Amino acid sequence: MSKEKVKDIKFIIFFLIVIIIALAYLTQASLAKYRKQTSGDVEANVAHWNIKLNGENIHRTMTNTITPTLVNNQYTKNGVIAPGSEGYFVLEIDATDVDVDFTYTISFESLNELEDIRVKSYEIGGNTYTTDTNVTGTITHNTGPTSIKFNFEWYDGDDNVMTNRDDTEVAKSSETADIKATINFIQIKD
């Protein structure tokens, strides 16, 4: 064989090797697209549930006692309650940092033997409602404070539960008239 033929054969072999390497690279790169693995994170913000009741977070037991305002009358010393007396207190539910709508249910229970102390009405949004049962309502997410004024009385009508003797005994044995307010909050869901 002539030197030129050998040179041409070497060139053809070199050229074929370059083409094979190029094809192998292109094939590997195109197949690699289908064999790659990737991952990503999905983030979703969690809704806040930071209801405040009279300025205190509901996730803790309330430390502040709700002090009522007693309505003065000519027959009772200021600052005390007696049969026939009335007063009020305010509960403020703050939903500023709450990201879901919710309902509330408020119930009351006398903690001493004062069975005739009762919540007779409540005021919310400029409207007054009479009640002798639980108070319920709905609050929209991220709204400011909602104030509810509760009007109570030491009922002393003809159909009251306690007799005059019961009233006297309670007055002798108790320094305070304690009412427990229980408030339940429930998220509204579809």
- H runs (alpha helix) in the chain: 3-35, 164-173
Closest by Cα among 163, 66, 168, 76 to 119? 66
> What confidence tens digit (pLDDT) does each residue in 66-102 have?
889 999 888 888 888 888 889 999 999 999 999 999 9
Stated pTM of the model:
0.73
- What's the rounded Cα separation, in Å, for the pair 175 and 90? 22
Burial class (CB in 10 A: 0-12, 13-18, 19+), 108: middle
Which tens digits make up the pLDDT trace of 140-185? 999 999 999 999 998 888 888 888 888 888 777 777 888 888 899 9
For 113-149, the pLDDT digits (tens) are 788 888 899 999 999 999 878 999 999 999 999 999 9
| In the chain, domain spans | 1-40, 52-187
